[in-house]
Amino acid sequence: MAVVVHSFPLLDLPPDELRCVLKLMGSLDQIAFSLISKPTKSLIRDVPKKPLLTVCLFIQNYIHLNIAFPKLWKTASWQLSPKYENRNVNSVEWAVTEQVKVEYFDPDEDGNGNILWRKKGFGAKEWLKHIMEVTNHLEIDVCRFEPSGQCFQLASIARTIEGLNVKQLVIDANCSDAHFRAILQTIYLDDVALFRNPYPSRELFHKVLIQNVEKVIYKNDKSLTLDDLLVMNFKILDYKTARGNHLTSIRFFNKFIKMWRTGYNTKLKIIRIIFDEAVNKETVLNGIKYSEVDPEAEINSNRPLCKDAELAKSMDIYDINGARGAKATVYINKFNESSGWIEVAVWD
């Protein structure tokens, strides 16, 4: 699987035979072959491939890109930095690396192992772009920061992923408050998963909530309040309430819907909240005029959510009106007698 060669007889094959050979190559062999030259990269890009399952960038005490291939349990990890132990916070720049170690696992073929790849002139961004292009997976699904990654300079990470299609930022709940806040202030992505609130005051937390973000997943924290929902600048909020959190109750959510109907937070398009208490129409829509929606009609509509017929049939669905002609659909789904989720989707 070496990528540095002086001659490559495979390239002398007739085009049809060459394409056949490339199709039969394993995924890692294809990527290795693509590193030889621009023509080999172009050849591999043209080979039909099944979509990758996930591509994730992990920031730990070393930085690595993990790929899950369509084949069951087949994975590969590109180590894009050295491993650092006991380094000071924010002390290591994510530097250029022409050589990377690839660890792989394939239960049906070679089992597991590791190999070294080298490409002259490549840095971390070039490795990321190349892998994304030749696998036809033109996005990094998740960029995840973990506590041991605090040694890396966040500015160098931001520079490296700038211009790449990174979909979601995930910050481990065990990251220190200072590290957590620094990540939010340096890494700007449209989709953020927050597992707690690292800010000591409500005013500072609101600086995060008013950022122009497409989607936020917010879990396992007791501090989300009605004021937070009203000031946030997100289009989509997926929020799991903490058990025993009396501030975030269904009655609290009922108040939010009523305020939305008067014109608050018009940017919000979808909000989904999981409750550790019984969900029902009487509490959710108390004091709100609504019309019941037949699940079959919902499935065949052009509205935002719930195209799954079985899921639609398991839910109670209601339409409500908002300010300035806005409309929304409220979906209520009971997990059991003591929990469930509510989703509100705004549509015009």
Number of helices and strands (H, E) in the chain?
Answer: 12, 15
What span, in angstroms and rounded, lies between the C-alpha atoms of 265 and 267?
5
| Token reading at 18 | 């060459």
Which DSSP symbol is given to 50? P
- pTM for the whole structure: 0.84
Has residue 220 been placed in a domain? Answer: no
Has residue 38 been placed in a domain? Answer: yes
Has residue 77 been placed in a domain? Answer: no
Ordered per-residue pLDDT tens for the chain, 348 residues: 444 444 567 878 888 898 899 999 988 999 999 999 999 999 999 999 889 999 999 999 999 999 999 876 789 999 999 999 888 888 899 987 789 999 999 877 667 889 999 999 999 999 999 999 999 999 999 999 999 999 999 999 999 999 999 999 999 999 999 999 999 999 999 999 988 888 888 888 888 888 888 998 887 665 678 888 888 888 888 887 655 554 467 888 899 999 989 888 878 888 888 887 778 889 899 999 999 988 776 666 655 555 555 666 678 889 999 888 888 989 888 777 777 888 888 876
Q: Which residues of 182-221 are buried (b: 16+ CB within 10 A; e: fewer)?
A: bbbeebebbbbbbbbbbbeeeeebbebbeeebebbbbeeb
In the chain, the number of structural domains is 1
Best CA proximity match to 148, nearest among 125, 169, 176:
176
Best CA proximity match to 320, nearest among 274, 280, 284, 296:
284
Which DSSP symbol is given to 152? B
Has residue 59 been placed in a domain? Answer: no
* 335 φψ region: left (φ > 0), alpha (ψ -120 to 50), beta (else): alpha
Domain ranges, residue 26:
9-48
Has residue 29 been placed in a domain? Answer: yes
Has residue 57 been placed in a domain? Answer: no
Has residue 80 been placed in a domain? Answer: no
Has residue 329 been placed in a domain? Answer: no
